[in-house]
Chains A and B, each alone.
Chain A
């Protein structure tokens, strides 16, 4: 059994493990988008395993190729669900921001899907592979930017997040980071980088699955923000703006002759 086979089987085992634990801990209803994505990837793997030709025959290989790119397309689009799950869970207590984020994320997904539909128009099966690769690259970059924004907010405001979301965020951000670098190097260096790209993607996905498996082992509630401070936001903002204004005026006045 080669290294690729070991990584592939370990990945499947980890996916199955995450799904089994989620079933036991009843996490499906708590993180529906995330587990929808995990189930989608697991289902895709099972379909590919079922359709993989035992002996290389052109019709069977063509069928496998088509199934591979269709399942890849579905998995890539479903991956957006993980980003949305992270946004939705972290921003759950902040209704206004969550609504705004939902509009932005939805609009971005709609634009990318419309672009894919236009490209696939006419000959969907023939164009599936190049379109999927392009959609994957675009979606990964958009997700990387969205995760970057979310991580920036988490670090800046020290937003408290629970173990489940922390592992979801850490694992997916790591995977997306590795994926966009690998995909870009692949497009720059050409087919010569194919093997390395595939290995990087598999290893990073394996690492992500390990992080998810540990983090999603049991349910960990996201810490709720202190609602007693809600009414004071206006006062705090007003005070800060006033103080910054005073500071600016003091500095300007001090330099006058």
Chain B
């Protein structure tokens, strides 16, 4: 039964890809997008860090908390969550833009290397996973708690890394036993 499901999935994927290939083949002119992008196209276009800092500023939280109005505080949290998610979405869009720029530029290149492409695809995939984790954390816990959570994670990671380095340094390098070439 599992085999059958797998095989039906393969067949359906074939059909979907055939339709996609047919649609692209019909809609695309061969002369489009053949020019190489400029180096400036690869400049990362992201909203400034200051914008996120402003969005997650503790002063604003204190100011709203002082008002002691629960609906206002809830609205404030909702708005900040929405803004943070927008900021994160922009990073995902930027990674998609960079990758599609790459695909558009190398698709005609005769020297295309599958290993390099797979590595790049992996890097983009990893970024998307990190993005999805961050979005879920912000969505579930809100931006302020998510930031504290990420900060404590970074702190713990730093501690572990320091500990690892100290352990590695404390182990004195012992000489390896020399083989006795003459004896059996």
Contact = CB atoms under 8 A, between A and B. Distances in A.
A255 B150 contact: yes
Contacts, number: 170
B14 A230 contact: no
Interface residues of A, number: 62
Given A145-B10, A160-B30, A256-B151, A240 B17 contact: no
B24 A158 contact: yes
B110 A94 contact: yes
B154 A256 contact: yes
Is chain B's binding surface mostly helix, strand, loop or mixed?
A: helix
Given A229-B105, A250-B49, A180 B112 contact: no
Given A144-B10, A155-B24, A173-B18, A247 B46 contact: yes
B132 interface: no
Contacts of A226: 34, 108
B175 interface: no
A174 B7 contact: no
A233 B124 contact: no
Contacts of B101: 240
Contacts of B98: 240, 243-244, 247
A232 B42 CA distance: 14
Contacts of B120: 237, 240-241, 244
Interface stretch (A10-18, A23-31, A181-189): A181-189
B25 A161 contact: yes
B106 A230 contact: no
Interface in A115-164: 141, 144-145, 147-148, 151-152, 154-161
Contacts of B161: none
Contact of A233 (B7, B24, B111): B111
A109 interface: no
Contacts of A158: 24, 28, 103, 107
A94 B14 contact: no
B52 A151 contact: no
B177 to A, nearest CB: 43
A246 B91 CA distance: 11
Nearest to B32: A158
A157 B14 contact: no
B14 A173 contact: yes
A96 interface: yes
A155 B14 CA distance: 11
A38 to B, nearest CB: 21
A213 B26 CA distance: 20
15 contacts: A141-B7, A144-B11, A145-B10, A148-B17, A155-B17, A166-B21, A180-B11, A230-B111, A244-B98, A244-B120, A247-B44, A248-B127, A250-B44, A254-B52, A257-B148
Interface of B: 1, 3-4, 7-8, 10-11, 13-15, 17-18, 20-22, 24-25, 28, 30, 34, 36-37, 39, 42-44, 46, 49, 52-53, 91, 94-95, 98-99, 101-103, 105-114, 116, 120, 123-124, 127, 130-131, 134, 147-148, 150-151, 154
Given A154-B21, A174-B15, A229-B110, 20 more contacts: A94-B112, A97-B112, A144-B11, A151-B17, A155-B20, A155-B21, A158-B24, A166-B25, A174-B18, A184-B7, A188-B4, A225-B109, A229-B36, A233-B112, A236-B105, A240-B42, A244-B98, A244-B123, A253-B49, A255-B134
